[in-house]
Amino acid sequence: MRQVRGHEDIRLPLASGSRRIHGSVARDLGVAILSGRYTPGDVLPGEIEFSEQLKVSRTAYREAIRILSAKGLVESRPRTGTRVSQRSRWNLLDPDILAWTFESEPSETFIRDLFELRMIVEPAAAALAAERRSGLDLARMGHSLEEMGRHGLSTDDGRAADQAFHTAILEAARNGPLIALSSSIAAAVTWTTIFKHRRQSMPRDPMPDHRALYEAIVAGDPEAARRTMTELVRLALSDTELALRP
């Protein structure tokens, strides 16, 4: 028999905007796990109990758990229930996981680790891009650079252009897995940029290093591209470190 719904039952947005319910639940639980509210080994309440607590149906809850499980955050088995996986199984480079991490203040260590990864991957990608870039790649980089110069990094448009510039470089490297890393890294770049501007009103002008990098790729000089990209990331890191300890 069906239960009639009263007017209180109207679902308030769970601080999650217009997302689908399973998506919001996945995000909320994901953020809770990533921020340490649930720690590896913790067993979540049973399906029925927890879905009632969250005021969603068991199906929606289960779909949320499927999402988290696909990203390595939880594992569920009959009888033992659903538990938070070990950190080493978390898919830290998954774009959603990165987004959720930056939703609550990420640890300083994590940001440093991300820059360390950029320092490894992006110079190498820039060198490959200098060797393999097509005319179309160069056009896209050039356009992004122009946009970036026009808007500056304190606007959304400017940051989007910056991200497009880095993405164009990684795509010019013509390496599938590297491009997959690109969306993650590009996103991380954007968030750390927001971080910088949140705390520091007028950071260094980023255009000279970006232009130097662009020139190196246009010239098809892998070593110059590697060098300038290394310098660019190093400068971004030092800006971010300034923002971290004001």
Partner DNA sequence: CAGATCGAAAAGATCTAACCTATTTGTATG
Partner DNA sequence: CATACAAATAGGTTAGATCTTTTCGATCTG
Q: How far is the CB of 225 from DNA (least distance, A)?
A: 40
List 43, 180, 207, 219, residue binding its own copies (CB under 8 A): 180
CB atoms within 10 A of CB 50: 19
Helix (H, G, I), strand (E, B) or coil at 141: helix
Q: How far is the CB of 9 from its own copies (least distance, A)?
A: 22
Q: How far is the CB of 97 from its own copies (least distance, A)?
A: 9
Q: How far is the CB of 3 from DNA (least distance, A)?
A: 6
> Binding partner of residue 209 among its own copies, DNA, none, CB under 5 to 8 Å per kind?
none
**Interior/surface letters 162-185, b for 16+ CB within 10 angstroms, e for the rest:** bbbbbbbbbbbbebeebeebbbbb
Separation between Cα atoms, residue 182 and residue 169, nearest integer Å: 9
Decide if residue 89 touches its own copies (CB under 8 A).
yes
List 62, 211, 227, 234, residue binding its own copies (CB under 8 A): 62
Helix (H, G, I), strand (E, B) or coil at 68: helix
- Here the tokens at position 169 are 């470089």
Q: How far is the CB of 78 from DNA (least distance, A)?
A: 4
> CB neighbours of 59 closer than 8 A, spacing ≥ 6?
none
| Residues at the contact surface with DNA, assessed by CB under 7 A | 1-3, 11, 18, 20-23, 44, 46-48, 55-60, 62-63, 65, 76-82
Separation between Cα atoms, residue 40 and residue 192, nearest integer Å: 26
Helices (H) and strands (E) in the chain, counts: 10, 2
> Binding partner of residue 2 among DNA, its own copies, none, CB under 5 to 8 Å per kind?
DNA
Compare residues 47 and 131 and give the one whose CB is closer to DNA: 47
Nearest to 159 by CA among 184, 115, 188, 194: 194
**Distance linking the first and last C-alpha atoms of the chain:** 61
> Binding partner of residue 124 among DNA, its own copies, none, CB under 5 to 8 Å per kind?
its own copies
> Binding partner of residue 114 among its own copies, DNA, none, CB under 5 to 8 Å per kind?
its own copies
Give the single-character DSSP code of 88. G
> Binding partner of residue 150 among its own copies, DNA, none, CB under 5 to 8 Å per kind?
none
> Binding partner of residue 148 among DNA, its own copies, none, CB under 5 to 8 Å per kind?
none
- Here the tokens at position 37 are 């509210």
List 16, 28, 35, 110, residue binding its own copies (CB under 8 A): 110
What backbone phi and psi angles, to 5 degrees, belong to 81?
A: 90, -170
Residues in contact with its own copies by CB under 8 A are: 22, 26, 59, 62-63, 66-67, 69-72, 87-96, 109-110, 113-114, 116-117, 120-121, 124-125, 128, 171, 175-181, 183
